[in-house]
Amino acid sequence: MNVLICEKPGLLNYIKRDKPILEKGKAILKVKRVGICGTDLHAFEGTQPYFNYPRVLGHELAAIVDDIEPNDLFKVGDRVSLIPYFNCGECIACRNGLPNCCVAINVFGVHIDGGMAEYISVPVKYLLQGNEMELNELALIEPLAIGAHGIRRANIQPGEYLLVVGAGPIGLGLMEFARIAGAHVIAMDVNEKRLSFCTEKLKVEHTVNPLKEDVLSKLKEITHNDMPTVVIDATGNLKAINNAFQYIAHGGRYVLVGLQKGEITISHPEFHKREATLMSSRNATRQDFDFVVQCMKSKQVDPSTYITHRVKFEEVSDNFQSWLDPSNGVIKAMVEVN
């Protein structure tokens, strides 16, 4: 079978591997769709901190069960998605019901080889039943679950003002679930195209472009001088992360969903006087995946909004570099396999 491997930053190669054979507790999946996300792009660039090479990318999957031991939940031919966070089941986080931040987590397509292949072998316990869903929807559950998880972490109360910094695919998901939770959403980005996308497609109430306007006064105007009680970073950009501490309302929360390699700098007096809460939000849990599915089924989230680019598996390596360029307007590139 054909496999696309990232040999080192900047280099993708198609190689041949044997089709995996069925092992106990696992399923063989025929991969149908792979969504490309920031993690994949950062891995290709060499800026993803948890990455080593060579690695098969791809963790946003829609697939068909090709082989599986008889069981009550799945059968050959079922449409499925994958929860790509493989956890140890024993560490403190796992014992506390937080498999998303397991001490020994293996993210499929990050720490171990992922889904850019015709067939994959994965543990049955991470499958998600998707017979009532479209393939494209199934491949979008994971990136949206990241947003759903971040919003659940922030514990949004209806009517709160919430600022999402960064209007990439993860930021957009955060805005959707913030809206569903009843927040007044403010989108901030330096890319005007992305801000119009927020307004037109996601019906985001307010936008701020720091290149065009003074952020502090704009946020004060929008929030009637209060400032946002929730600020969420979805840029993974150190400067943006450090900057956003000043946007938090007194008594507010700051949730870091984006990730970067450097060290965060906080003015202690500024942070202290706000009695602010800083938290990170990592991956997602089955609860978040189920919530995304529920929102898709009830049409509160429309997955087709997100897919801006479609390519065949054979065309991925030729196109990958171009998806790094924000001027190409990529929100979500979707790979069609087979």
Residue 137 contacts residue 23 (beta carbons within 8 Å)? no
User: Cβ closer to Zn ion: 68 or 164?
Assistant: 164
83 close to 103: Cβ distance less than 8 angstroms: no
92 touches Zn ion by CB under 5 A: no
Least distance to Zn ion, CB of residue 168, Å: 11
CB 185 within 8 A of CB 176: no
Q: Which residue has 């049409």 as its token pair?
A: 299
Residue 91 near Zn ion by CB under 5 A? yes
Binding mask 36-75 for Zn ion (x = CB under 5 A): -x--------------------------------------
Single out the segment in contact with Zn ion by CB under 5 A; choices: 13-21, 31-39, 70-78, 323-331.
31-39
Residue 229 CB, nearest distance to Zn ion (Å)?
28
Shortest reach from residue 84's CB to Zn ion, in Å: 8
Q: Least distance to Zn ion from the beta carbon of 116, Å?
A: 13
Q: Which of 145, 140, 120 is nearest to 64 (CA)?
A: 120
DSSP assignment string, 100-138: GG-TT-EEBTTTB--S-BSEEEEEGGGEEE-TTS-HHHH
Q: Residue 12 CB, nearest distance to Zn ion (Å)?
A: 17
**Residue located via tokens 């913030």:** 178
Residue 94 touches Zn ion, criterion: CB under 5 A: yes
Of 189, 69, 135, the residue nearest 304 (C-alpha): 135
Q: Does 172 bind Zn ion (CB under 5 A)?
A: no
- Per DSSP, the three-state class of 234 is coil
Single out the segment in contact with Zn ion by CB under 5 A; choices: 30-38, 185-193, 200-208, 245-253.
30-38
Q: Are 219 and 151 in contact (CB under 8 A)?
A: no
The interface region with Zn ion, picked from 33-41, 73-81, 180-188, 319-327 by CB under 5 A, is 33-41
Burial group, residue 198, by CB count within 10 angstroms (0-12, 13-18, 19+): buried
Q: Specify the residue, 150 or 228, whose C-beta has the smaller distance to Zn ion.
A: 150
Q: Pick the piece of the chain touching Zn ion (CB under 5 A) from 10-18, 99-107, 220-228, 313-321.
A: 99-107
Q: Calculate the alpha carbon distances from 310 to 279, 301, 320 in Å.
A: 35, 20, 12
Stretch in the footprint of Zn ion (CB under 5 A) among 142-150, 233-241, 243-251, 317-325: 142-150
Among 81, 87, 223, 317, the residue binding Zn ion under the rule CB under 5 A is: 87
Q: Which residues here bind Zn ion, judged by CB under 5 A?
A: 37, 87-88, 91, 94, 102, 143
